[in-house]
Structures are given as C-alpha cells and as structure tokens.
Chains A and B, each alone.
Chain A
C-alpha cells in the first residue's frame, strides 16, 4: 500500500508539472500545443543520456530542460508569426518527429530497445537522522503551505455565502455525493457477483446501461438542485474540498512514514521528495509570474493579440518565452518521468500523453494553476483506482480494459464539461462574457 501511494504521489507530481507547462501555454496565453509530449521526450532522453555519460543528475536535468526550451524556440520561430492554427499543426508534427527520431536513431537512443539501468537520484542515499528530519520538514512545510492556500480559498467561498445557507447546502451535497458513491459501489458489487453468471457481452451492456442511467439521473438531479438553490454547487465544493483535505492528510502521513524509513525503498522515496519539491517550487514560481505584469501580458495575448500589439507589447517575444518556459517545465517533468519508470522507451511517450495533459488542464480549469494540480490528482486517482477495481468488475481482457478506462475518462470529462464547462476550479463568470 505504501509503495502504491508513493508512486501515486510521484505520478501526480510529474503530470501536474507537465500540465502546468501546458496550462502556461494554453490556459494563460492561448497557444494551442498538441505536441506537449515532445518536450517531455526531449527532457527525458537528454537527462538520461547525459547521466549515463557521467554528468551529474542536476546538471543533466538542467540541460534537458534547456534542450526542451530550445525546441520551443525552434517551433516558435517556425510558426508564431503565422496564424494560431499553424502552431497546433506544427506541434503535432514535431512531437511525432521527436518520437520517430527516438525510435530510429538507434546509435543515440538505442531505439525500441530502450534505455535501462541509468542513474537514479538519491537512490543510494542512506540519509542520517538529521537529513531525514530536513526532508520531513521540507515536505511538511510544502503541505502546510498547501493547506494554508486551501483554507484561504475555502474561507473566501464561505464569506460569500449567507451563513444560514451553509448547513442545508452541505447536507444536500453530502447526500448527493454519498448516494452517488453508494450507487456506483453497489453497481460494481452487483456486476462482480453477476460476472460468472452472465456472458461477457450481456454484463457489458448491463453495466453501460446502468452507468448511463445513473449518470443521466444525477446530472438531471444536479441541474434541478441548481435551479432550486444556486449555491448548492458551492456546497458540493465544500464537501469535496474537505474530503480532499482529509485524504491529503492521510497521504501525507504515509509519505512521512516512508521518509522516516527511507532505507526501505530509497529510490522511490527520494524521487518522491524531489518531485514534490520541484513541483512546489515551480508552482510557486508560476503563480508569481502569472500575477505579475508579465503574466498580464500573457492573458491579454490570450484575449486579443492585435489589441496587445496595439498597446505596444511584443507579442511574438512573449509567445516565444512562454513556449520555451512551458517546454522547459515539461522537460523537467520528462526527467522525473524517466526516473519513475526507471526505463525509457519511445513507447513511453505516445501522443496520448499530450492528451493526458490536456485532460488534466481542462478538468482542473484552464488558466488556473491550482486547478491543474487538482486535475492531475483526480486523473491519477481515477487511473489507479480503475486499474485495480475495474479488472474485477468488467469482463474484458487487459488490453481492452485499458481502452475502456480511456473511454471512461472521456465520459468523466464530458460530465465535467456539462456540469462545469469552465473546469472544476475555473471561473464561471468568464464563460458568459461577450467578446
């Protein structure tokens, strides 16, 4: 269990980082990047290949980030002076090109044989007691800061609510959430019981029917509740935030325990500390950036490039910077990803990974960094939960199950888009604005 949670933390951090890069490009600046995985691939391969040659890991990672930024620079120069759609097309092409290079340039990347046995960070470390304490404090500080943020935003939402509304909407949200949860678990349990009795196609149809019905009913219910009590969705937010907070504490406990017993699995624990620390650092940096005058220019470019030009801003330079910075962040995510996988194959970086990042960003709310973190957490929680549970319930072999899970996350995305087109943490007002 501990190992599972630790790897969940690592995956979540890596993809949060990856998503933050895309969020900077698309969510804040409006640049459509359908080849985000290219930056990650470059970062991963550069870091690994350099570290195999004996370059120290931090330096290798830095070079990896720079190479990824360089790709951003090239793509920018090639396309940014053209209309926006060209960037979208070129990014798809470039990402496929990078993957094909990884497959075919065997002298460099060992092609489909892949790279194994490369150095991992902090893997052979046996930290003394004070070092462990420092790691513990670092993680604790990050978590504490996170909770402070959460508390602040919670208090803000609470302030906007009339005090007498809090109890009823919380009850409503609790009822909604728990009954939905129970129904889903019940369906799963029933399916598991029926699995030996029914033919596979029958069970599949039944399951799909049940899920559709439940989904339909609960979306309808949500809409009716919203009509009757508009603040109701805030209640849902409160309840789920609290649930998330409790969940977070539990995970924090596990992480702390793992650091305390560092020697039990040094590579993973070390990677967890590094990923979380890097994520926290970059998140903080990005938040500072997007709230600065620099970030204001990005948002202006997203809204209307021509106006931004007319106001004396060098739009091209800003877009280049954003492509490079987002690329560098994805490159770092790539380095972390290679350490987490411990082997690197071109197949680790299919175009689908780009769309994982899109899912994460859209789910959390474009243009909202905290939303991207949340999106990544939901994505990976979903991914892992379904991996273990769906196998028991759904009568499909492994490959089909994989496809089924992707279908389901598509469905989840659709539900979120119906319920909150602006994403979970996005601002609703922004949707209704006229151009």
Chain B
C-alpha cells in the first residue's frame, strides 16, 4: 500500500510531463433520457497534473457527464480513456480502483458510520475487506488498519475535522460534509478527483480553505476536474475551462479566454 501511494502521489513521470496524452479524455459521449439529450457528443480532455474547470448553466449536463465518466450512468455512445486505457466498459468500482474518484453534487456521507470509518472505508486494496482474510490474515489486516488510520487522521487534521473523527458522519453540518467527502476521495489515493460543485452552499471562508487545499493536493500530484458555478473559484484555480450548454460542448480555453468568449457570455453569464 505504502509504496503504491508513493508512486501515485509522487511527481509526474517523464511521460506525463510531455503531455503526449491527457490523463482523462472523453470522445463524443452521448446520453439521452427519454427524448432529452442530456449529454450530446461531448468531448473533453484533462491534462495530467492540471486543475480543469467544467462550467455551464444549470441543466447543461455537467453532472450527467461526470456520471458517464465514472460509468455511474452508461453512455449511449462514445469513449472514455483514463491513464491510457479505455474505462467506459468497466464497472464503476473498478474505475475508482484505477484512481479516478468522484464526489457528488449533494455531499453524500455514510450517516451511521463515524467520520473515521467513512475515511477508512475509502482506502483501496485492504486485506481485511476480503472475507477469508478476516480469518486467515488478521495480523496483516490490523497492521493496515493502523496505517490507514494514521493517514486518515492526517487528512482529517488538514481539513480541520480531527475533532469530529469519532462522531457519526450524519451529525456533520453541510459544509463539513463537503469537506469530508473531499477528504474521503483523497483517502482513495487517486490520480484524479472529479469534484461536483465543491463550493455550493459553503460559506466564503470555507470556500477559500477548500481552494487552498485543492491547490495543495494538486501540487502533490493529483489532477482535478471541477464543476463549479462560483466564477472566482474557477478563475483562481483552473488552468483550463470547458463549457457545456444544453448538453453540448460550447467552448474551451484558459479562464481568461472563456470569460471573454461572447458565446459563453451569452449562454452562461446571460449578458
């Protein structure tokens, strides 16, 4: 476990520095619900090591796109490639195991588990999660639990949830839940995290904190794709922004370019 983490969290390998291939790329994704084309031939690329933004008016299909990327909803057509391999045929838990983790627009914590248990659950490749290992490898299981617990405590401390570690996750406030959800995603030791509106319903101080954390974790090597309506957040964090409107690609570019794009202004900023 420990070694793997070192590699994943470590700095970019020469390959990714060259940016021959984006870490995540989706080509021509489509998804219809009944007659509604929620996502219509959307393509998107996320370079390794970047913080990429995804914006668009409500109902533009951003969350649906996230669902398609993680195979929470199966695309009608199109492909998703992550880390050089196609993933749109994999079940969603295997996608997470490959290092692509999502959060939900409305924070979803496991209410009747403690905050610490929420964190521990997220660790991958745990020996004790296999039925037989509970019986035949108790030593290894306990050792890993101790290690994961330490790592989880570190993350919880960094987001300021240490004091709540033993309380039920269901007892957290809205903002704290958002933090826990992001912290939990980190616990997976992912290559990339998809954040769905991390700043929605969060007070300004906490928004700043979340932004700082994202920058910090990004420097540690994690790639982010962020859906966000708060333009300050997008402007300050993102290297590149993709814009969706009515289920289709509208534009993409640097935050500055996007802010000046007349199409975007019309569709999104309503000016």
Contacts and interface: CB of A to CB of B under 8 A. Distances in A.
Contacts, number: 102
Given A293-B145, A294-B129, A294-B131, A312 B93 contact: yes
A435 interface: yes
Interface string B145-161: 10000000000000000
Given A299-B113, A433-B112, A435-B111, A308 B121 contact: yes
Contact of A300 (B121, B133, B170): B121
A303 B113 CA distance: 8
A309 B128 contact: no
Which residue of A288, A312, A435 has the most chain B CB atoms within 10 A of its CB atom?
A: A312
B24 interface: no
Given A308-B121, A321-B131, A292 B141 contact: yes
A105 interface: no
Contacts of A309: 72, 91-93, 96
A257 interface: no
Interface residues of B, number: 38
A306 interface: yes
A309 B96 CA distance: 8
B222 interface: no
A297 interface: yes
Contacts of A164: none
B93 A293 contact: no
B265 interface: no
A193 B72 CA distance: 68
B121 A297 contact: yes
Interface string B99-111: 0011110001111
A434 B171 CA distance: 7
A293 B126 contact: yes
Interface string B77-109: 000000000000001111011000111100011
A304 B141 contact: no
Nearest to B120: A296
Secondary structure at chain A's binding surface: helix, strand, loop or mixed? helix
Nearest to B174: A434
Contacts of A303: 110-113
A202 B141 CA distance: 65
B209 to A, nearest CB: 23
A296 B97 contact: no
Contacts of B170: 430, 433-435
B131 A313 contact: no
Which residue of B120, B124, B131, B188 has the most chain A CB atoms within 10 A of its CB atom?
A: B131
Nearest to B187: A311
Interface residues of A, number: 28
A209 interface: no
Contacts of B133: 294
B229 interface: no
A288 B101 CA distance: 30
A34 to B, nearest CB: 23
B113 A310 contact: no
Given A293-B126, A294-B134, A321-B131, A312 B97 contact: yes
Interface in A249-298: 288-289, 292-294, 296-297
A300 B128 contact: no
Interface in A37-61: none
Nearest to A289: B134
A200 interface: no
Nearest to A317: B93
Contacts of A304: 108, 110
Contact of A429 (B93, B94, B168): B168
B112 A297 contact: no
A310 B101 contact: yes
Interface string B162-181: 00000010110000000000
Contacts of B93: 309-315
B130 interface: yes
A290 to B, nearest CB: 10
Contact of A293 (B70, B108, B110, B129): B129
Nearest to A315: B93
A309 B121 CA distance: 11
A435 B134 CA distance: 30
Nearest to B103: A310
Interface string B114-136: 00010011101011111101100
Contact of A311 (B101, B128, B141, B171): B101
A311 B96 contact: yes
B168 A296 contact: no
A297 B128 CA distance: 10
Which residue of A306, A315, A434 has the most chain B CB atoms within 10 A of its CB atom?
A: A434
A300 B113 contact: yes
B123 to A, nearest CB: 8
B31 interface: no
A289 to B, nearest CB: 6
B62 interface: no
A429 B70 CA distance: 34
B113 A296 contact: yes
A309 B102 CA distance: 10
A74 interface: no
Contact of B168 (A302, A307, A314, A433): A433
A304 B118 CA distance: 11
Contacts of A288: 134
A293 B141 contact: yes
B111 A312 contact: no
A329 to B, nearest CB: 14
Nearest to B107: A307
A23 to B, nearest CB: 15
Given A310-B70, A312-B188, A433-B111, 15 more contacts: A288-B134, A289-B134, A293-B127, A293-B141, A296-B113, A303-B113, A309-B96, A310-B96, A310-B103, A311-B96, A313-B121, A321-B131, A429-B168, A430-B112, A434-B111
Closest 3 CB pairs of A and B: A433-B170, A293-B128, A312-B96
17 contacts: A289-B134, A293-B141, A299-B117, A300-B121, A302-B112, A303-B110, A303-B113, A306-B104, A311-B93, A311-B122, A312-B97, A312-B124, A315-B93, A321-B131, A430-B111, A433-B170, A434-B111
